[in-house]
Structure 1
Amino acid sequence: MNFSSHTLHSPVAVFDSGFGGLTVLRALREQLPEEDFFYFADTRYFPYGERPAEFLRARCVAIAQALQQAGAKALVIACNTASAVAAEAIRAAVNVPVVALEPGLKPAVELSRNGRIGVLATQRTLESERFQRLLASYGAGKEIFGEACTGLADAIENEGPNSSKVAALLDRYVTPLQAAQVDTVVLGCTHYPWASLQIAQRLSPGTQLVDTGAAVARQLTRRLQAEQRAGGGQGRLLAGTSADPAALADKLERLWGASLPLVFWAPQAVAADVRPCVS
C-alpha cells in the first residue's frame, strides 16, 4: 500500500497490537491537528504483552519498515510492550523519526509525595531492560510496586472498561497497590487510560494516575520540527488492521467514539482503496 492512494500525505504512522494506542493517537491529533495519521492495529497478534520477545522484535521491525516504505514520515510505537522490546531494533532498521513509549516513572517520581509508586503494565514491560533502566535512573530511594496485569488489555479492548471481567481483573491488580499505600500509579499500557475511572475508584482519594500520551505528543512535535518534517497534511486519518476490518469496525467506532475508516493492511499486503474521512 502507498499512502498517497488513500489521500494521506506523508502521514505519521502510529501502531499497536490492538486499539489501545488510540489513546495516544487522540493526544497526537490534539497536539498536531494539521498532520495526517495512519493508525495500524496489528490485531492478528493482539495482545503483544503475551508474545515472545524475539517474535515481537522481528514483527515490529517488519511493520516499521513497511510503514516507512509506504510513505510514513515518522513512526510512533503506541505500545509500551513493543517499545520495551523493539524500539532500539526499529530505530536501527528505519531512517525516519521514531518515538517510543515508556512507563511514566520519571513524572510519577516527581509527583509522588510519599515515594510509594505503583506501576500497572504487562509482564513483558516490567521484565524488559528498558524498564529496568528506568528503575535504576529514577527509582532510587523510592518504593516501586509493579503489577503485571495479565489479560487486562485484552479485557478492556474486547469487553469494555465497565465489564465485569475488567472489574474482576482490576480488583486483582489494583488492590495490592492500595494496600501498599501508593499515592501515584503509572498506567503502563495504552489500554489502561480507558479504565482510569475504574482504577481510581479502587485507590485512595487523591491518588494520581500518570498517562504518557501528552508527553509522547510533545516529543513527536519536537522531532518533526527539528527534522523539518512538520506540516503538509490536512488532518486526515485512516486506520488499518492485520485482521478482518469488517469484524472490527464496530469495536473501533465504540472505542474511538466516532466512525473511522478501517482497511486491511499488513507488511507485504495491499489494502483496499478506501478514502479516509476528515474528523
Structure 2
Amino acid sequence: MSKQPIGIFDSGVGGTSVWKEIHLLLPNENTLYLADSANAPYGLKSKQTIINLSIKNVEYLINQGCKIIVVACNTATTNAIYALREVYNIPIIGIEPAIKPAALNTQTKAVGILATKGTLSSELFHKTTDLFASNITVIERIGEGIVELIESGDLYSDAMKNLLKLYLQPMIDANIDYLVLGCTHYPYLMPLLIELLPNHVKIIDSGEAVARQTKAILEKNDLLNTSVAKGNCQFFTNGKTEVLASLLDNHFKVEFLNF
C-alpha cells in the first residue's frame, strides 16, 4: 500500500497549490490529482450537491488505488468532509481557512478572509471562527467571479485586478494585518494581492499545513513511501487541460478525463 498514490481532488485547478506543498514535502510519494473543473466553482452549489460531487471524486480516486485522500478544496471540506468520513474508511484530509493563526497573531485585531460563498456560509467555518476569532474583527468577502477567471486562464487580467480591488478595499479600510485565503485557487493570485495590499499585511493559506498533516497521517498509518525514487505525478481534468498544465509550468502531462 505504501507505494500507492496520494489522491488529491479539487473543484478545479486551484488545488494544485496544495499538491505543490505535498510534492515539496514528500517528493518520493506518487500522487494523482483530479480537477473537477467542469463543475467549478463548488462555492455556489448546495451542500448536498457538493457532497455528491465529492463522493464522485473520492470514488474515482479510490478506484485508482489511492491510499489516502486529500480534499484540496475549502468548500468541499467545509461542506462534505464529515459525510465522506462516514462513508469511507480510507484516511481523508481536509483543508480549512487558516483563521486560527491569523486570529492569534493579529496586532490590529482585524483580519480579512477571502473565500467562496460555500465556505463562508458553512457550519464548519462558523464554528472555527467562533472558536478562535470571537474577540477580533473578521472582514469576510465572497470572491465571486475569481474562480471562474482562474479556470478560464485569466489569472492576471484587468477583470481579475478590478475584482480584487473591490473585495480588498473594505479590508484595507478596516486596517487588517492578515489576509486569509479561503480557497485553494487564491494562492495563484499572490503577485496581485501583494501589489494591492499595504506592505504590513501578511497573506496566509493552508497548503503547507495540509502537507504536514498528510505526512503525519501517512506516518501514523505506516503508509509512507520509503522509495528514494522521485514520485510519479498524474493529473486529470474534465476541463481545459491547457489551464491546468500552465499552473504546473507545463512540466507534467495533463490528461482529459470525462467524469
* Same fold, judged at TM 0.5 (above): yes
* 1:182 paired to 2:155: no
* 1:39 paired to 2:12: no
Bigger mean CA deviation after superposition, 109-118 or 80-89: 109-118
> When the two structures are superposed, what TM-score results if normalisation uses the length of structure 2?
0.94
Q: Give 2:46's aligned residue.
A: 52
Q: Give 1:262's aligned residue.
A: 254
Q: Give 1:79's aligned residue.
A: 73
SS at match of 1:130: helix
Q: In structure 1, which of residues 232, 236, 252 is the aligned counterpart of residue 232 of structure 2? A: 236
Q: Which segments of 5 or more consecutive residues in structure 1 lack a partner in the other structure?
A: 1-7, 268-279
Aligned residues: 257
Cα drift, residue 112 of structure 1: 1.1
Give the direction of change, closer, same or farther, for the CA distance of 1:103–1:177 in structure 2 (3 Å limit): same
Q: Which segments of 5 or more consecutive residues in structure 2 lack a partner in the other structure?
A: none
Cα drift, residue 183 of structure 1: 0.6
Cα drift, residue 17 of structure 1: 1.1
Q: In structure 2, which of residues 93, 108, 113 is the aligned counterpart of residue 114 of structure 1? A: 108
Cα drift, residue 107 of structure 1: 1.0
Contact 1:65–1:94 (Cα < 8 Å) also in 2? no
Q: In structure 2, which of residues 55, 61, 64 is the aligned counterpart of residue 67 of structure 1? A: 61
Cα drift, residue 232 of structure 1: 5.2
Cα drift, residue 186 of structure 1: 0.1
Q: In structure 2, which of residues 84, 88, 102 is the aligned counterpart of residue 90 of structure 1? A: 84
* 1:195 paired to 2:189: yes
Supply the distance in 2 between the matched residues of 1:149 and 1:9 (Cα, whole angstroms): 38
Cα drift, residue 110 of structure 1: 2.3
> When the two structures are superposed, what TM-score results if normalisation uses the length of structure 1?
0.88
What is the aligned-residue identity percentage?
A: 30
Supply the distance in 2 between the matched residues of 1:98 and 1:189 (Cα, whole angstroms): 18
Supply the distance in 2 between the matched residues of 1:11 and 1:192 (Cα, whole angstroms): 25
Cα drift, residue 191 of structure 1: 0.9
SS at match of 1:91: helix
Cα drift, residue 266 of structure 1: 5.8
Q: Deviations over 1:170-226 (max 9, x none)?
A: 011111111111110101111111111211222221100011110000000000000
